[in-house]
Chain A
Amino acid sequence: MLNPELHLNPDIFSETPKKAALRDGYGEGLLEIGLENSDVVALSADLEESTRAEAFAKKYPERFFEVGVAEQDMVSIAAGFGVSGKIPFVSSYAVFSPGRNWEQIRTTICYNDSNVKIAGHHAGVSTGADGATHQATEDIALMRSLPNMKVFAPCDAIEAKKITVAAAKIWGPIYLRFSRNPSVVMTTEETPFIPGKADIFWLPQNNKKPDVAIIGCGQLVYQCLLAAKALEKEKIQTLVINCHSIKPLDSRQIVAAAKKSGAVVTVEEHQIAGGLGGAIAELLSEENPTPMEFVGVRDVFGESGEGEELIKKYGMASNHIEKAVKKVLRRK
């Protein structure tokens, strides 16, 4: 059942649940934090509208900087802002930033320990018709391997807004990951949000012992919930954990869930290599070795198509999660 303490959206399982795009949450959060803190500045590389930096740019033109199609320059400029008392937010598509400009991020932002927030948009195959060149499925791995960098992947538009506002208040380099299309809004304004804390969205009824913990991030947490609901009908009890913070991991919550359930399935719109699943596997193999299955992109590039169609084709829909759960249960 949905965790009653989290004030989740009661409509989640209706035929037409409320949808909103994560990038819109980012745009709203940026606007809000811009009002709260005049040290916040924003930079764009010729993608002002589609990364939703537009509202901030209109409201605070003196704190908005258009660098042209130049992602490497953009993060280097941001690094300079970040060591000069400003809180720069840089927006582009994740394939270009942090994809193209990775070394500049490594040296000028992370090694410099500059207070830069990197918003990577159009993450995942659900980016759709633009095709694989524009679908970032490696960005978590790229950012997770960098010292000093934190990595957050919010699950819906409301969490995206909260995380954007929170990022301005947490000192240091942060990578924020956003998908493109409207997706189901699972949380509400009342849902408690603590950056870095992994929340249990779904738990077994009547305090039953869970058979498996499903740990997901981003919009696919919704697919995890659909799977949990279907599995409950088959008497398979699950925990669904929304793991918005891939780095640092909420290790206490994750290790506890692994101990309690004895099996883990991870779910992410990202390559299996180096993503959320990899991070959890690293943690659990040291702390509490647990059988795991990974749902994500399996070492291939995406392609043009509709977002939902691609989630299915690349094996990340609720039925794939159910299959992974059944597979991991056989290995317990």
Chain B
Amino acid sequence: MLELTDEKIKFLEKRANEIRESVVKMLYEAGSGHSAGPLGMADVFSAFYFHILNHRPEEPEWSDRDRLVLSNGHICPVRYAAMAYAGYFPLDELNTLRKLGSRLQGHPHRQSLPGLETTSGPLGSGLGQSIGMALAAKLDQKKYRIYCFVSDGEQDEGNHWESVMFAAKRKLNNLTVLMDRNNIQIDGFTEDIMPLEPLRQKYEAFNWHVLEINGHSIEEIVDAVNEAKAIYEKPTLIICHTIPGKGVSFMENNYLWHGKPPTRDEAMAALKELRSLGGKIQID
């Protein structure tokens, strides 16, 4: 990973904002899909695709690439947007999301689009697959890392915790999990639907190394990933505290935006807000 200069941080923040704009446009075009999760994770995706990941967009199957597994597949619009900006496919294609014949399926389909690593959408099975990849890397003595993105609602699934135990048993230090801790799921706030706290202590009790960061701070994201790389005896969980719907005030922190797209007017309002926010970020 290259050094994170102030200039690079500014670039990544700007990119995150461009990704957010694309997410809003895509969802409006598609007429269905999820808004809150993708907007909340835009900074993390910007940091990964444009700074952290060791990858080759023009050669998505490059065998030494880092693997990014998206377990909470419903937030795929943010991944698709980041991939398009990174050069995996043309930006125009983003408008085909969820349409018949599109490579951008409503939930990610591995065989449809190179670079996705796994098919997902059904929650709670990304970590198990990531463990398989991490073990394979060890068997092959490969240096690439596996990053598994999970959500907080997904922590309700029992099979996820089977994987949590296993990763610790095998001390999978080439595996880093990033959790979108945005406190919402479909039916409400996570602590009302199925209380998760104390999350940090739960993972620590399961023998994981746990870090907690502001998921909108590029610096904190990059620092935490660097720290995870330096932890040899355990897998690491980075709890990314995020604001669902981040950047669009009327969506922020409202679980009703989990699974719906903006209407035309809402999309216009959202884009206006994101553009002025873009102006704020590019200070000089």
Contacts and interface: CB of A to CB of B under 8 A. Distances in A.
Contacts of A100: 122
Interface string A32-46: 000000000000111
Contacts of B157: 69-70
Interface string A291-321: 0000000000001111001100100000000
Interface in B129-145: none
A309 B100 CA distance: 8
B187 A133 contact: no
Contact of B187 (A46, A72, A305, A313): A46
A95 B125 CA distance: 14
Nearest to A47: B186
Interface string B90-117: 0000000011111011110100000000
A83 interface: no
Interface stretch (B25-33, B56-64, B203-211): B25-33
A139 to B, nearest CB: 14
Given A44-B187, A46-B193, A132 B109 contact: yes
Contacts of B101: 303, 305
B144 to A, nearest CB: 26
B242 interface: no
Contact of B109 (A70, A131, A306): A131
B106 A66 contact: no
Contacts of B185: 46, 68-69
A145 B120 CA distance: 27
Contacts of B128: none
Given A46-B153, A70-B194, A133 B73 contact: yes
B184 to A, nearest CB: 11
Q: Please classify the interface of chain B as helix (H, G, I), strand (E, B), loop, or mixed, using the class held by over half of its residues.
A: loop
A131 B106 contact: yes
Contacts, number: 95
A250 interface: no
B198 interface: no
B124 interface: yes
A129 interface: yes
A237 B153 CA distance: 54
Contact of B194 (A68, A72, A303): A68
B164 to A, nearest CB: 15
Contacts of A70: 156-158, 194
Contact of B156 (A46, A129, A304): A46
Interface string A92-129: 00011000100000000000000000000000000011
Given A46-B156, A129-B31, A304-B105, A69 B98 contact: no
A310 B32 CA distance: 16
State which size class the interface on B falls in.
Answer: 20 to 34
A73 interface: yes
A46 B121 contact: no
Contacts of B173: none
A69 B109 contact: no
A134 interface: yes
Contacts of B99: 129, 304-305
B199 to A, nearest CB: 14
A146 interface: no
Nearest to B31: A129
A48 B187 contact: yes
Contacts of A69: 123-124, 153-154, 156-157, 185, 194
Contacts of B106: 129-131, 133-134, 304
A82 B194 CA distance: 23
Interface residues of A, number: 31
B107 A305 contact: no
A189 interface: no
B253 interface: no
B119 interface: yes
Instruction: Kindly name the residue among A133, A305, A309, A310 whose own CB sees the greatest number of chain B CB atoms within 10 A.
Output: A133
A141 interface: no
A129 B158 contact: no
A306 B106 CA distance: 11
A50 B258 CA distance: 13
Nearest to A76: B158
Contacts of A305: 98-101
B187 A47 contact: yes
B107 A303 contact: no
- Residue among A46, A49, A69 having the largest count of chain B Cβ atoms under 10 Å: A69
B33 A129 contact: yes
Contacts of B186: 46-50
Given A46-B153, A69-B156, A309-B100, A133 B193 contact: no
Contacts of B158: 70, 72-73
A67 interface: yes
B100 A303 contact: yes
B187 A310 contact: no
Contacts of A313: 100
A100 to B, nearest CB: 7
Nearest to B194: A68
28 contacts: A45-B156, A46-B185, A66-B187, A67-B156, A68-B185, A68-B194, A69-B156, A69-B194, A70-B157, A70-B194, A72-B158, A128-B32, A129-B30, A129-B31, A130-B98, A130-B106, A131-B105, A131-B109, A132-B109, A133-B106, A134-B106, A303-B109, A304-B98, A304-B104, A304-B106, A305-B98, A306-B100, A313-B100
Q: Name the 8 nearest CB pairs between A and B, nearest first.
A: A68-B194, A305-B100, A68-B156, A133-B121, A131-B106, A129-B98, A69-B156, A131-B105
Interface of A: 44-50, 66-70, 72-73, 95-96, 100, 128-134, 303-306, 309-310, 313
